[in-house]
Amino acid sequence: MRSALILFVLLTGSALCVSAQQIKSNKGHENNPYYSNTDTHHLNVTNAQWKKILPPALYATAREQVTEAPFTGKYWNADAKGTYYCAVCGNLLFRSTAKFASDCGWPSFFEARKGSVVYHDDHSAGMDRTEVICARCDSHLGHIFDDGPPPTGKRFCMNSVSLEFKPDGAFKTAN
């Protein structure tokens, strides 16, 4: 009887500690109360709040639109099967099946998960481009171009630092 009670307490405690809304990775999201791979509600967090939470390189790219150097990010030539999430808030963005090899030096995808990103005109750096922003947290992810492969003809050129990859089987999502 005592063993059954201990087992019950352990199982119940484990279930309570890991709720679906608070799935954290080993990437260090313990200090980010907004990070979730399941919550899709829009966040209204100030840059001052993000600066306290995010690592400096991620903050610079996601909140100040700094672009990482080409061929330096950890996902530009990755080909593992899985899912790419926003490194800031955990929003599901891309499946690896939409990733393709590109000579640009950044991870490239031909489509994003429906409703996961929004677009803004970007006239910075003397160029006319379309910025891609996370629909949940408004963080800069990269840019989209019209030189991608079929079926969309689009190239989502993303900054690796703004992405987090979880291989298939790492955990189940509701999406």
Distance between CA atoms of 26 and 116, rounded to whole angstroms? 23
Task: Determine the Cα angle at 167 with ends 120 and 44, to 5°.
Answer: 35
Is 137 assigned a catalytic role? no
Catalytic residue, from 86, 89, 137, 157: name it: 157
For the chain, the distance separating the N- and C-terminal CA atoms, rounded to the nearest angstrom, is 40
Query: How far is the CA of 88 from the CAs of 39, 64, 91, 94, in angstroms?
Result: 13, 13, 8, 15
DSSP letter for 174, please.
-
Strand pairing partners for 96? none
How many CB atoms are closer than 10 A to CB 168?
Answer: 10
Residues recognised as catalytic: 157
